Amino acid sequence: MTTALIVHYSLAADNLAHAQERAVAIAHEQTAELSPEVIRMVAPDTALRGEVLSVDAAAEDYTARIAFGLDCLGPDLAQLLNVLFGNISLQDGILIHHIDWPEALLHTHGGPLLGIEGMRDLVGVHNRPLLCAATKPMGLDSASLANACAAFAEGGMDLIKDDHGLGNQPTARTLERLTRCVDAVAESNARTGHNTLYLPHISADRRRMEAQAEAAKRAGCRMVLVNPGLVGLDAMSWIRDDYGLGVMAHPAMVGGLMRAKHGFTPPVLLGDLFRLAGADAVIFPNTGGRFPRFDADTVADINQHLRNPMGSLKPAFPTLGGGVNVARARHWMDHYGNDIVLLIGGSLYAQGDLVGASRRLREALESQA
Amino acid sequence: MTTALIVHYSLAADNLAHAQERAVAIAHEQTAELSPEVIRMVAPDTALRGEVLSVDAAAEDYTARIAFGLDCLGPDLAQLLNVLFGNISLQDGILIHHIDWPEALLHTHGGPLLGIEGMRDLVGVHNRPLLCAATKPMGLDSASLANACAAFAEGGMDLIKDDHGLGNQPTARTLERLTRCVDAVAESNARTGHNTLYLPHISADRRRMEAQAEAAKRAGCRMVLVNPGLVGLDAMSWIRDDYGLGVMAHPAMVGGLMRAKHGFTPPVLLGDLFRLAGADAVIFPNTGGRFPRFDADTVADINQHLRNPMGSLKPAFPTLGGGVNVARARHWMDHYGNDIVLLIGGSLYAQGDLVGASRRLREALESQA
């Protein structure tokens, strides 16, 4: 087991010597931020910096492995992000495609509270994918959104999350929306015997976000929806630790950090990092939807990074969204296995009758399960 | 004065019809997240969505203007970011190159606490650029970093900020480093009569970050260094509102949101958005340093977005870093004008004698000022 964080980069470079030069520059840029010459003058024995382990030619570019000692990091997600990609985000052609995680670091950040099994226990569904609906659109009042919740719960959806675009708009203020939707789902559950969970979107400047998390906790929610790209990666571990709530993570805004040749690959960012920071479920676009960058291989890779063993961390639920169609739900279950959440929005609403649409969807999954 | 947020996008598209289609898709994706057909069924009168004002062919691509009513936003920076670039960050070829800001929104978020004049008053320097040094490298203990602070203050640097890579590492824990550096600068100031300010780097998971901000306030700091890309854009307004401290912002991590053809242009993100969210000074790479994407035109544009009138917001200090050389300091003053901060790191350390190096730098700027 390594005691350093080992980061695997794909580097654009003119030749091997240039790639080696870039790797050394990264090892310094992300830590001491001084050139080797100045470090020798100022702090020859004490400066912390990355160590270039290898630089190799790859198919189209170069691969470099750089080790960062855990002393570079400290206890915070912010500094982990900073060492991984802080200053070099301002450069070009640097892609993090793999990270070797030391167990000590996994332990520091902790990962999911519930994980896949914990979420399955909450909704009482163990032998098929979970089904998730979304309250939308922005502009509806809280009563109408709560009506949609009631219908989805009545129809047997396992999870109902707020649309991530529902912030604290005047048309449906977060705290009122939260209360009404919780009540609507609880009433449906009492009638049907389902254990449908409602996940309010918790998103605001800090003090208001605390009030939202507090309200979710008080109302009996067990999970919330969080956008780490909008409110900070540490928002997830904060929700986990301070409120004991599970987290479904949304990928809004972090697309900028997942360019084809610069940033993180989607499996590293949405898989490793989101899971590390406390996501129990991670939403990302399924292949074939509105987001062409997420092809079949990428989706399969993200699934693996969320579900496969990762030291002491619990596995997290891949949550496929971005245009998942009711008619294809069964296909995706057969394709990706049972341990997924299918997030279905527009194609439920398009059927008009939300109760019937939800019921048919659930039956389609359960018919041969 | 407009009452909507009007966003100007550069769009990659095959032809004008395709660009128009993309613009309509963006207007929906960033708001209702339902197709026009489904909106007509579900919420024909109430759904909020963007309105495409124009789509035109430009030199290499297309330009679209989309208006978002303020009801889409609510009071939080998170939802502003989300409407601007949340889901579409996961697509390609969408660049925000200009925003028309309604005064109501500027008022909501407030902008800088101190602004350029407020910072000048604190350090007592009104007729030349401010000079900023950095404590580094990561790995030195707090006593050594405090010694560097003492030397920079003795030599007459106006500002000393922590290196943004100094988090809460075991080699120099934030709270101890902060206390020692504050004391060292205060002692120098008492001796020299300077008003040098020390800006601790405030960066951690939320609860620890609160303790750090509290400690900075208690120790008498007037400003802190914050990385919005690591801890959230709202961290700046939170520091401003809850602690009454000024903020110098660092651009680590947000390079991912400023790709050449996707994301925000640097003047919009580092100029408009950082200023809006409360930055009194914004660090970014000067041209000719280690970050080739920041050419002379880009730097000049960022300067303008930080300094030019922006409704009721105070102007903020462009803070040029990323390899600014002592020998060129005078040149940059002549080139960009007096209202800049020159952030000089490695090239001060390379001279060995930090007091002498700082003094010579200040004299170079003051010689004909």
pLDDT of residue A1: 43
> Which amino acid is present at B154?
E
A352: which chain B residues are within 8 Å (Cβ-Cβ)? 41
Nearest to A165 among B31, B39, B76 (CB): B31
For chain A, the average pLDDT equals 95
Of B48, B204, B207, the CB nearest to A139: B48
Q: Which long-range contacts (CB under 8 A, 24 or more apart) does B213-218 make?
A: B213/B239, B213/B242, B213/B243, B213/B245, B214/B243, B215/B174, B215/B175, B215/B178, B215/B179, B216/B178, B216/B243, B216/B245, B217/B243, B217/B244, B217/B245
- Within 8 A of B323 by CB-CB distance, chain A residues are none
CB contact under 8 A, B237 and A85: no
| Chain A residues in contact with B88 (beta carbon < 8 A) | 255
Share of chain A above pLDDT 90, in %: 92
Q: Calculate the dihedral angle through the C-alpha atoms of B360, B363, B364, B368, rounding to the nearest 10 degrees.
A: -170
Q: How far is A276 from chain B (nearest CA, A)?
A: 14
**Nearest chain B Cα distance for residue A165, angstroms:** 6
Instruction: Among A232, A294, A349, select the one facing B38 at the smallest CB separation.
Output: A349
Calculate mean pLDDT across residues A3-9: 95
pLDDT for A12 beyond 60: yes
Across the 369 residues of chain B, what is the mean pLDDT of every consecutive 10-residue run? 87 98 96 92 93 96 97 95 97 97 97 98 97 96 97 98 95 96 98 97 96 98 98 98 98 96 97 98 91 90 98 97 84 94 93 95 83
- Percentage of chain A exceeding pLDDT 70: 99
Q: What is the 3-state secondary structure (H, E, C) of chain B?
A: CCCEEEEEEEECCCCHHHHHHHHHHHHHHCCCCCCHHHHHHHCCCCCCCCEEEEEEECCCCEEEEEEEEHHHCCCCHHHHHHHHHCHHHHCCCEEEEEEECCHHHHHHHCCCCCHHHHHHHHHCCCCCCEEEEEECCECECHHHHHHHHHHHHHCCCCEEEECCCCCCCCCCCHHHHHHHHHHHHHHHHHHHCCCCEEECECCCCHHHHHHHHHHHHHCCCCEEEECHHHHCCHHHHHHHHHHCCEEEECCCCHHHHECCCCEECHHHHHHHHHHHCCCCEEEEECCCCCCCCCCHHHHHHHHHHHHCCECEECCCEEEEECCCCHHHHHHHHHHHCCCCEEECCHHHHCCCCHHHHHHHHHHHHHCCC
The answer to whether residue A45 scores a pLDDT higher than 60 is yes
Strand, helix or coil at A89? helix
**Reported pTM:** 0.97
Measured at the CA of B282, the angle between CA B251 and CA A257, to 5 degrees, comes to 20
User: Is this complex scored with an ipTM above 0.85?
Assistant: yes
Of A56-60, A215-219, B53-57, B266-270, the least confident = A56-60
Q: pLDDT at position B1, please?
A: 43
Kindly determine whether residue B137 and residue A34, on different chains, have CB atoms separated by under 8 Å. Answer: yes
